Structure 1
């Protein structure tokens, strides 16, 4: 272990000094301080876990990151059923961004993990473990608790654990011994860091060092955090090159325009005051579209993206309660009538009465109190799909002039 820590320190320290100021990060907190006895620490945590498991309030001395996870995850007894080999292979191939980082993770972490008696675990943005690499003895023990390729390790699946907590916190996390929700994981320490795509803020995956709780050390947390940050900077560089290629391959017009990739990241713009990303309509089509922040635009496909130019005229929305409930979208191309359900009409009436927007909680008042949130979100999503680009979120609001008739 001492040899591992010496090598790890020299490796991550030089990376950390270069990377730490590149972007704001949440503060990280190791489970143990340097020199703290892991066995004694595990013994002290066992009684805290027992109090919580028996239904008592979470003791105040529990680390805040663990207390939050215990509150979110609960004590789960669900069986772990891994994906089969073909499903694992499909997930690996579909996740191009994560696939492109595997060699970096192996180069930076696998040798060090092996020397420390740990394994390297790489999971995707949904919490599915896709790669488990390292000493066979450690892997055999992880097989016994279902910590295998194809298993999903979100908090909602297996309770508090390194992968699930890092996903929920969007920050590096070290979960030690009895801080895990399930007792069969109490002999483990899992040190995990999420990997985010800087261009989209999407979670690409999570990297984890996992092994006996006796191998726990605060340097492990700094190491995985450093490697995750390096991976994110690699993705950022790749994205910048992609944007440059998109710009060079597109015949840009004179006058005002915005060039974006298919996710809405901006490669070039002229005459528009825009940030780095646009929220494109879910079903973007060539021709006339409404985009929040740009207004009425004409969209043309380009290899790898869209060229957006200002359309003549503006768009407005009229709520019409005639023989049927309708939303009428007025644009320079004419008027489009969209039939509405009674619930969609109620939502639009509420949005029209609150031009500055309403929260999810305010919208939920339109449903009975016991209505599941997933039902409410699905209904709002369907309405936003009908009125493509006309209803923004956070808060929910209509982004064009609206009137009633």
Structure 2
């Protein structure tokens, strides 16, 4: 009787060795262009396709140079991940050591910064290049529990022969991305890895839950820093008239005067003191404060002119929006969800309702609450350049979308039904 993907997943929980043999047959057939006995899981199949297109050799273990100890230390000292190591250790290490696993924490570039757990498994990991400072990007090492979550932006378990490179097929890995709650930026991945026979079906859910706890801790730290900034802001704003706000370095609002409170103000990536134009207030005077900025409205008329909006989706994980017009030019780095939504709006200039966007994103028109919440966040930095009922870019704006050279590289993290078809090579844009 033929097995299905679900059958293989269940089999892996009770007979890891047999499941590994089935997946080995799937891998061999798929990579040789033959019909596989079971279709690979979609997340694995898409990853294998990326590897084949990028030229990763499945039968040869390629490794880049390790980072120096000094560079590992520098990255540790500057990474937000250092603040959540106690959470990760408490949630993962005790069980991982008993289960003959190791915990690996990598940065957003897929570089291994921390490695802890079973000493026996750590020695085995050395043999596969799973060392401090190693580069485990998917484009270098193939499908794996660090590099693949970096690309897909979601938790991924890679079991046995689901690894693209043959030398890794005796391992099982479960990795979950960790994002900065201030801006949605990926800051790293936490992974639990070990010999394939130690695999458990609940491992991925366990790793994901600990990653979410880590993000919760980062959110608490951010709220504490805003409270400190409010103490600085209070006497400053008390002396001012007009519209002004004190925000942190990422634009999150600590306090305002003379204007409605909003959670976050859109700031350019490289803000500096002086007279600036910001989407929320227009012409402003920006002054540095300890831990943030004092932003005062200059109340000058904004020059009129044609507005050009460029949505750049060409980079693998650096999607951005650049606005040029009479008030100057500014850019904003996009989260994965905002890149999806703005791409859909750029493709459909007549606009889409919340239900239509929900259908395009999730295949479920009922998920309008999620769409409206995200569109509200987008309007914080795009302001009057977005209309609603339906949601659309304003008529006066010239909108251009820069796509990847290969359509299959369009927002690889996205599972949006409306974007899946646009990854077909040769399709008209």
Q: 1:68 to 1:190 in 2, by over 3 A?
A: same
Structure 1 position 268, deviation (Å):
2.5
- 1:168 alignment counterpart: 151
Q: State whether residues 257 and 309 of structure 1, in contact with CA within 8 Å, keep that contact through their aligned partners in structure 2.
A: yes
Higher relative contact order (Cα pairs below 8 Å, separated by 6+ residues): 1
Q: Which residues of structure 1 form unaligned runs of 5+?
A: 1-28, 319-351, 362-372
Work out the CA distance in 2 between the residues paired with 1:185 and 1:258. Answer: 53
Q: Are 2:216 and 1:238 equivalent residues in the alignment? A: no
Work out the CA distance in 1 between the residues paired with 2:330 and 2:35. Answer: 45
Q: State whether residues 301 and 307 of structure 1, in contact with CA within 8 Å, keep that contact through their aligned partners in structure 2.
A: yes
- 2:30 alignment counterpart: 52
CA-to-aligned-CA distance 1:302-346 (integer Å, 9 cap, x gap): 11111112112123266xxxxxxxxxxxxxxxxxxxxxxxxxxxx
Q: Are 2:56 and 1:76 equivalent residues in the alignment? A: yes
Q: State whether residues 149 and 176 of structure 2, in contact with CA within 8 Å, keep that contact through their aligned partners in structure 1.
A: yes
Structure 1 position 201, deviation (Å):
0.6
Bigger mean CA offset, 253-262 vs 163-172: 253-262
Q: Are 2:7 and 1:66 equivalent residues in the alignment? A: no
Structure 1 position 148, deviation (Å):
0.8
Structure 1 position 360, deviation (Å):
4.4
- 1:225 alignment counterpart: 208
Q: Are 2:250 and 1:260 equivalent residues in the alignment? A: no
Work out the CA distance in 2 between the residues paired with 1:31 and 1:244. Answer: 50
- 2:75 alignment counterpart: 91
- 1:100 alignment counterpart: 83
CA-to-aligned-CA distance 1:96-129 (integer Å, 9 cap, x gap): x211111221122111101001011111121110
Structure 1 position 55, deviation (Å):
4.3
Structure 1 position 193, deviation (Å):
1.0
SS in structure 1 of the partner of residue 157 of structure 2: strand
Structure 1 position 138, deviation (Å):
0.8
Q: Which residues of structure 2 form unaligned runs of 5+?
A: 1-5, 335-341, 347-381, 386-393, 398-429
SS in structure 2 of the partner of residue 102 of structure 1: helix
Bigger mean CA offset, 51-60 vs 66-75: 51-60
Work out the CA distance in 1 between the residues paired with 2:332 and 2:165. Answer: 43
- 1:389 alignment counterpart: 330
CA-to-aligned-CA distance 1:10-39 (integer Å, 9 cap, x gap): xxxxxxxxxxxxxxxxxxx99833743111
Work out the CA distance in 2 between the residues paired with 1:30 and 1:208. Answer: 25
SS in structure 2 of the partner of residue 285 of structure 1: coil
Bigger mean CA offset, 166-175 vs 276-285: 276-285
Question: In structure 2, which of residues 256, 274, 278 is the aligned counterpart of residue 269 of structure 1?
Answer: 256
Q: 1:360 to 1:194 in 2, by over 3 A?
A: closer
Work out the CA distance in 1 between the residues paired with 2:258 and 2:293. Answer: 16
